[in-house]
Amino acid sequence: MKLLWIDLNSSYAHASLALPALHAQMQNEESIEWSVISATINENIGMVVKNAAKYKPDVIAATAWLFNREFLLHVISRLKAIYPETIVILGGPEFLGDNYDFLSTHAYINCVFRGEGEEYFPKWIDIWNKQTQWSTITGLCYFDNSQKYHDNGTARVLQFDKLKYPESSRFFNWEKPFVQLETTRGCFNTCAFCVSGGEKPVRALPVDTIRTRLQNIKSHGIQNVRILDRTFNYNTARAKELLALFSEFEDSIRFHLEIHPGLLNAEAKNTLKSMPKGILHLEAGIQSLHEEVLDCCRRKGNLKNSLDGLQFLCNLPNMETHADLIAGLPLYHFEQVISDIYTLAQFGAGEIQLESLKLLPGTEMRRRAEELNIHYSPLPPYEVLETASMSIEELQQARLISRLLDGYYNTHVWKDITRKLIISEKNFILHFLKYLIKSDVIDKPLSIEKRGLLLYDFCKKEYPSYIFDVALAWIKAGMSLKKEPAENIKTKGQTPPNNWEIIQGKYHKNMKLYMLPTPQNKYWFGYDPLKKQFIPDMIAISN
């Protein structure tokens, strides 16, 4: 049997675990001729089809999720037109809900799989051409030859720790900048908007197993590992064990993981304080800073504890914590979103990620959409269009604010000045957004320099007392001293003052020395004339 796997990702920086995770479990690989086509959603559909068609597959398999689904269906529908006898099976998050309508309207798809496939996909492979036996495959949904619909429920791998590792598969991709390591299945929480909200029980890998896999990952030169654990610290004792394990790799691997700030007790906080600097990158799922919103979403955890925990995490000097908000949650008002951004900026969150709610297949919130008075797109990515609390206009405005945050707060060069403006100027976000919309740039890709020019021009017109902060950020980032943000810098005849405080680098007498006067202080920038760069080698401050 010839099997073609379509490995379709959003970019080449990412690699799905689905293929190696399934392939690792196969016992009868010698009877299968495997072929793989890897592509991104930004490629030409015709070329992907051309490259895939040469394999003349008996079976086409792929994983579908909200961002690759449309492209994937275009590819498969064309392949099915060329090879109508080919059997197509799809799995992934897109099929966690009711699959009757999908299969009714996509007749070229023979079956879809709901749930965790490691145990049952190999069993289906054994009977792929014997449809009368498909009813034995838990998780499979399909129309039989008499057009009767079959729904075989949801597949769950209960012995998660017994599975063979994806890294053992010859299809595991070691060429990406990071590796994903799934340490648990399921989630203790019950968030109504999350596909993991109903995944019970939580199943975890032994710490010794994780150590062995990390040692293998390290041997391949991988420096970033994304821990796939829905809530890393749901069990404090286990979290402490894992943090100790991660510390063993402090010189070689950086770990990215999700953490619930409301579940941090004193023991967990002390452990985090003692972690090696830079080894952890934390994503704090906060979603909203309002109790009634979280209650409606069925998210467990005390809000006060979450706020205290988040503030603690953001103040840790040895790691960076990103926080996320979700616009479009029921009972969440636009004004509250703005207020929450202000609070997260006050806390000093490493990044503020503002997403729009998406009602994903299989989630409780999608099932309750009408009851909650949520209108959402019926097509991927299923974004919320309007709620009882937020209008169409406000949700679109929230989307644009997300663009603003990504371009400024979440960009290292502009973060400090953006944070200062958010905290100090109550209306900064909305005023700056209006300016970016009027300038017709908010939905366009902008260079870091262009962002600085826009921010400087805006502050010059609306908040002139901040232009020196923008200028400082501009100069420190090594951008042109001939452009407007550096218009006040003095470049000729500058000599060191009698007293200055060097805050970066070292000064030597051969340096080119420039000075930026501000209302409070004078900033001095030293440049090594032998270096062809604009980033200052020395920065000092004087009265």
Residues 415 and 402 in one domain: no
Residues 521 and 431 in one domain: no
Residues 258 and 138 in one domain: no
Contact 111, 134 (CB under 8 A): yes
Other beta carbons within 10 angstroms of residue 422's beta carbon come to 22
Across 205-214, average pLDDT: 96
How far is 99 from 526, CA to CA, in rounded Å?
65
Query: Token pair of 194, please?
Result: 């999350």
Residues 428 and 513 in one domain: no
pLDDT at 198: 63
In this structure, is residue 170 part of a structural domain? no
Closest residue by Cα to residue 468 from 393, 541, 378:
541
In this structure, is residue 162 part of a structural domain? no
Residues 285 and 217 in one domain: yes
pLDDT at residue 113 greater than cutoff 90: yes
Which of 350, 381, 407 is a domain's end point? 407
SS3 125: helix
pLDDT at residue 269 greater than cutoff 90: yes
pLDDT at 186: 85
pLDDT at 230: 78
Closest residue by Cα to residue 28 from 166, 123, 159, 113:
123
Domain count, the chain: 4
In this structure, is residue 230 part of a structural domain? yes
In this structure, is residue 27 part of a structural domain? yes
Identify the residue with better confidence: 298 or 473.
473
- Edge-first strand order for the sheet with 280-287 is 179-182, 224-228, 254-259, 280-287, 320-327, 351-356
**Structural domain for 233, as ranges:** 177-407
The pLDDT tens digits for 477-501 are 999 999 999 999 999 999 999 999 9
Across 121-148, average pLDDT: 97
Across 206-216, average pLDDT: 97
Residues 186 and 213 in one domain: yes
In this structure, is residue 203 part of a structural domain? yes
Query: Token pair of 327, please?
Result: 């616009």
Identify the residue with better confidence: 322 or 177.
322
**DSSP structure string for 387-456:** -SSS-HHHHHHHHHHHHHHHHTTTSHHHHHHHHHHHHH-TTHHHHHHHHHHHTT-TTS---HHHHHHHHH
Give the rounded percent of residues in the chain with a pLDDT score beyond 70: 99
Residues 387 and 508 in one domain: no
The amino acid at residue 451 is R
Distance, first Cα to last Cα, the chain: 78
Residues 41 and 93 in one domain: yes
pLDDT at residue 87 greater than cutoff 70: yes
How far is 303 from 286, CA to CA, in rounded Å?
9
pLDDT at 31: 86
Across 19-25, average pLDDT: 96
In this structure, is residue 320 part of a structural domain? yes
Average pLDDT, the chain: 94
**DSSP structure string for 208-227:** HHHHHHHHHHHHTT--EEEE
Closest residue by Cα to residue 246 from 235, 254, 234, 238:
254
Least confident of 176-180, 346-350, 531-535: 531-535
Q: What's the pTM?
A: 0.92
* pLDDT band, residue 60 (cuts 50/70/90): very high
pLDDT at 533: 79
Strand partners, 287: 325
Contact 394, 385 (CB under 8 A): no
Contact 128, 59 (CB under 8 A): yes
How far is 363 from 365, CA to CA, in rounded Å?
5
The pLDDT tens digits for 419-472 are 999 999 999 999 999 999 999 999 999 999 999 999 999 999 999 999 999 999
The pLDDT tens digits for 355-384 are 999 999 999 999 999 999 999 999 999 999
Across 254-263, average pLDDT: 93
Residues 183 and 272 in one domain: yes
- Edge-first strand order for the sheet with 140-143 is 33-40, 2-9, 59-63, 87-91, 111-113, 140-143, 149-151
Which of 407, 431, 448 is a domain's end point? 407
**Which CATH number do you get for residue 82?**
3.40.50.280
In this structure, is residue 160 part of a structural domain? no
Contact 226, 258 (CB under 8 A): no
Contact 65, 92 (CB under 8 A): yes
Residues 501 and 461 in one domain: no
Radius of gyration of the chain (CA): 27
In this structure, is residue 169 part of a structural domain? no
Query: Token pair of 85, please?
Result: 């006898």
**Which CATH number do you get for residue 231?**
3.20.20.70
Residues 61 and 140 in one domain: yes
The pLDDT tens digits for 288-297 are 999 999 999 9
Which of 100, 133, 151 is a domain's end point? 151
How far is 39 from 60, CA to CA, in rounded Å?
15
Residues 377 and 518 in one domain: no
